[in-house]
Structure formats: structure tokens, C-alpha cells
Amino acid sequence: MNDLIQKLEPRVVWENFVDISLIPRRSNEEGRAREFVQSKARDLGLESTADSAGNLLVRKKGRGGGREKPVAILQSHLDMVCVAEKGTSHDFGKDPLRLRSDGKYVMASGTSLGADNGMGVAAMLALMQDDSLETGPLDFLFTVDEETGLTGALDLDPGLLRGRRLLNFDTSEEGTLIIGCSGGMNVVSTFPFTKIAMPAESGHFSIGIGGLTGGHSGLDIHRHRANAIKLLAGLLLEVGRVMRFPICGFEGGDKSNVIPREASAVILAPKGKEEWLERTALDYIAGKRKEYGPDEPNLQLEIKEAMDFQSKGHVMDAGSVARLAEFLQEVPHGTAAMSRIFPDVVETSSNLATARWGDGTVTVGMNCRSPVDASMDALAASIKKLADRFGMYTALGSRYPGWLPDLDSPLLKKARAAYKEKFGKEPKVRAVHAGLECGVIGSKAPGMDIISFGPTIKDLHSPRERVEISSVDRFWGLVKEMVEF
């Protein structure tokens, strides 16, 4: 990777990004990354402290003419979404990322890149090292467990927040200034099914749908992308129109904030129905390929006999199969409403995220987003009402607050002016349909002035995640302008 960074600018940011990419840092396992930052702080003679949640704060005194300026908080999260391409051997608990470049982007080989939010972390580390800027006191806040529910920010000790200006670097479109974000909550519905004995003279057929584009359940939810769980449910309904059958397995999705890329089920079909089952499945997938076209170029179907499958007696009867598939087809997924302030931004949405097979149950996980509490509550209530109709139990998970836009923000005015002066054009200003820590941190310090910006990162939360090289230099230029404000 040393050869990679030799050609990239700004060198100090890329060097730190390479360093952080060598350290496994999946959610809830950020200890080594935190220790790395603490070590950097010690070497630079900077004070650092960690709270009980594992968040780390590093403090740097003001320099030069900026000594009397107000404290600015710079914030990024240490953890990353860890997803790999099917067939890729990578242990996110111990293996470093393998970075590569095509000249325009930097990406990882076979896995997500962690530029979300590793580029922000790298910029903060670079600022810790840079003594050439005349800044006020800088507080570097490195949070944990952002990707699985903003837990680090939710549990952040408010006593660490001495500043009232927050620069967040968790934005994925360079040239865009984010001034608002969605709140969110998880909804979990449990489907109880009727268990039956293993049918005699039946074959086990594994059906898998994969190769989907997936993506972030907020930022990509409005795009025309397929949901693997919904496709599989539709396939079960298609087969069930002709032949009722039990199943002994149903799994799909990975994380609540990722659009499901893969799903699979094990069908118990009578002997002699193999060719019919395969033909029906292939016809169904052919129709879906036409429906999604270039948005899902790698949609795949795998159907095979599961010779060594062990059901452990957990077989779902045919009636339950039909009801489960109907629920998964009817449950909301995608855009529910667009923003009235920013018409091209999703305001309210839901993601059918996961399905997990259990002993007599299938647990279905969904993620709702909206900056408007009433809208999010209404969406969750509609899911619960639907689940009730199918005899399911629904639990509403913990929620996190959104961040309402302030068009009169001093930070926004400074950032707009600095960007136009430096790059000769106006930046975009918008809210984002994702759960940024800005909303949570801002709720702990009412009246805080907040803005978020970052480099351009494509296909977040997927193995195709990549960061645009040229955007990193512009991002770094704006960072330096803003910390001298």
C-alpha cells in the first residue's frame, strides 16, 4: 500500500487513511483503532480521554492568532460497515483491508472500504499533526459503534462537549454541505409458524438469490434496487400458486442499515418436481432481470439439492409459508415521502432489512427513517398493524433523534463563502436521509451550530465502496478553511 499513497495528495491524509485501514475496526470492536489514535495523541503531546462508552476525545490548544477563538469540535466515527463479496475470504476481526486504485477511485479488494468514516478519521489525524494552521482550540471527537445504531453518540458523556461548533466529516458527496439528517428506529416483527414433521419422500432444495447491488438503507433507498428478501418471498408465492410446500429454512439480509443483497430458503418438494421447480424459479428471475434491468446487472439465482441439510425438526408447514411470503411482500420497503424543504431528498422511508430463521419463528427486522417524529411513528405503526394481521409480535427498538436544518447557521455561511472562494462555485446545501451522529450530539448540547461535509464516497456499505481521489484534496482544503474560522 506504500506504492499506492506515493501518488496521492494530500499525502498526510492518505497516509493516515492507509494506517487506519490496516486496523480491523468493525462496530463494537474499535479498541485497536482507539488505541492507535491515543498513541498518536501521546506522540504529539496532546491530551486525550475516553468515556465509558469507548468514545475518545483528543484536545489540541489554539495556535497563533487563533488562540482566543471559540472551541471547535471535529467529529468522525471509528467503526466501519464490514461486508465482503460472496466467495471472498476476509476476517474482519483480524485482517487488514487490501487497498487498490484504478486511478480515479481507491477501493478495497473484495470488501467494503471503510472510507465511511475512515476518511474523516484520517483528516482529523492529519489536523492533529498539522501545526501550521492558526486555529482556536480543537476537540477531536472519535465516536464508536455508529454503524449499528449510533450507540457511541447516544451514550456519549455530555461533559466532554465544551464547544458549541461541530464539524462532522461523515458525508459522502464532496461539494455538498449537510445541514440536517433523519432520525431512525428499528422495528422487529416475529412470525410464529406451525411446525410439522419432516415429510416423507421429499427432497431438500436450496434456493438462493444474490448478486444484488444493495447499498445504504437511507442514502440509496430511493434508487431502483431490488431487495433480496422481497424477491425470495415473491418466488415462494410464485411456486406456491401451483404447488404447496413446506420449508425448513429462510434467511436474508445482513444489517439493519443495508439493503439486502442475498436471501435463501430450503424448500421441501416432492420427488420428481426438481425440473419444474427449477424452471419456475428461472422464469421468475428472468422476469425480475427485465424489471430491474441495468440497476441489477448481477442478479443471480442458485437452486440445488441440499443433500447434507440438517433441519433439526424445524419444518414450517405450507400454510405458514404462504402467510410469511405474503407479509414480506406487503411490508413497506422504500420511499414513503419526499422532503418538502429539499424536494429531491427522501424524508421518510423503511428498509426490509433482515429475516432470521429460528425454532418455530422467523424474525423480521426493519429500519424506519425520518427527521419528523410523527412520520416515523406513523410508519412504524403501519408496520405493526400489518404484522398484527399476520399474527406476529412486534417490538419497537430504541430510536435516535434527527437534526433539523438551520439556514441561518454561522458555520453554513462560512462554509458556503469559503467553498465558493476556494473552488469558484457554490456548494450544494441539503439534508441527508441517513442517521448522522450530528442529531444525537446536538441533542446533548442544545444550540450547537453544526455542519457536515466530506469527500465523495460511492456505494457505501457494500463491497463496491470507493472514494474519489480528487475529492479528498478538495475536502481537505475546506477542512483547513473551516478550522481557522
150 and 72 in a common domain: yes
The pLDDT value given to residue 272: 81
The pLDDT value recorded for residue 422 is 96
225, 268: one domain: yes
Q: Mind listing the pLDDT tens digit for each residue in 101-154?
A: 999 999 999 999 999 999 999 999 999 999 999 999 999 999 999 988 799 999
Same domain? For 49 and 147 the reply is yes
d(CA 444, CA 158): 6
User: How far apart (Å, rounded) are the C-alpha atoms in residues 221 and 387?
Assistant: 22
Domain that holds residue 129: 2-182+402-483
From 400, 428, 452, give the residue that closes a domain.
400
Q: Are residues 150 and 231 in the same domain?
A: no
pLDDT tens, 158-176?
Answer: 999 999 999 999 999 999 9
Q: Which three cell numbers stand for residue 340?
A: 418538502
- Burial classification of residue 352, based on how many CB atoms lie within 10 Å of its CB (0-12 exposed, 13-18 middle, 19 or more buried): buried
The percent of residues in the chain predicted with pLDDT above 70, rounded, is 98
Q: Is 19 a catalytic residue?
A: no
Q: How many CB atoms lie within 10 A of CB 92?
A: 18
Report pLDDT digits (tens) over 300-352.
Answer: 999 988 766 555 558 999 999 999 999 999 999 999 999 988 889 999 999 99
Quickly state the pLDDT bin for 199 (edges 50, 70, 90). confident
Condensed to tens digits (0 to 9), the pLDDT of residues 406-464 reads: 889 999 999 999 999 999 999 999 999 988 999 999 999 999 999 999 999 999 888 99
pLDDT at 311: 54
Domain CATH for 475:
3.40.630.10
The verdict on 407 and 391 lying in the same domain is no
Contact (Cβ atoms closer than 8 angstroms) between residue 207 and residue 232: yes
Local structure of 314: helix, strand or coil? coil
Report the alpha-carbon distance of residue 427 to residue 418 in Å, rounded.
10
392 and 255 fall within a common domain: yes
Rounded to 5°, angle at Cα 108 from 104 and 114? 100
Answer whether 93's CB lies under 8 Å from 43's CB. no
Q: In whole angstroms, what is the distance from residue 226 CA to residue 369 CA?
A: 19
Q: Place 68 in a pLDDT band, splitting at 50, 70 and 90.
A: confident
What is the separation, in whole angstroms, between the first and last Cα of the chain?
35
What pLDDT sits at residue 308? 60
From the list 146, 173, 262, 437, the catalytic residue is: 146
Looking up residue 301, the CATH number of its domain turns out to be 3.30.70.360
The total number of structural domains that make up the chain: 2
Whether 104 and 50 map to the same domain: the answer is yes
Q: Are 219 and 346 in contact (CB under 8 A)?
A: no
Reported residue count of the chain is: 485
Mean pLDDT calculated for residue range 382-394: 98
Cβ atoms of 96 and 24 closer than 8 Å: yes
pLDDT of residue 34: 98
Residues 169 and 22 in one domain: yes
* pLDDT score, position 264: 97
- Per the prediction, the chain carries an average pLDDT of 94
* Count of other CB atoms within 10 angstroms of residue 421: 9
Question: Can you give the pLDDT at residue 408?
Answer: 93
CA distances 6 to 21, 457, 468, 475, Å, are 16, 21, 16, 19
460-472 mean pLDDT:
95
d(CA 111, CA 235): 29
Same domain membership, residue 244 and residue 336: yes
Q: Are residues 394 and 406 in the same domain?
A: no
Residues 115 and 251 grouped into a single domain: no
Whether residue 146 lies in the annotated active site? yes
Q: What is the distance between the alpha carbons of residues 394 and 379, in angstroms, rounded to a whole number? A: 13
Same domain, 356 and 233: yes
With cut-offs at 50, 70 and 90, classify the pLDDT of residue 2: low
**Where does the pLDDT of residue 273 fall: very low under 50, low under 70, confident under 90, or very high at 90 and above?**
confident
Which pLDDT value is given to residue 310?
57
Choosing from 400, 415, 450, the residue where a domain stops is 400
Give the pLDDT confidence score for residue 338 in this predicted structure.
94
Query: Of 368, 400, 432, at which residue does a domain stop?
Result: 400
Considering only CA atoms, which of 314, 308, 310, 309 is closest in space to residue 358? 314
Point out the catalytic residue in the list 15, 19, 30, 79.
Answer: 79
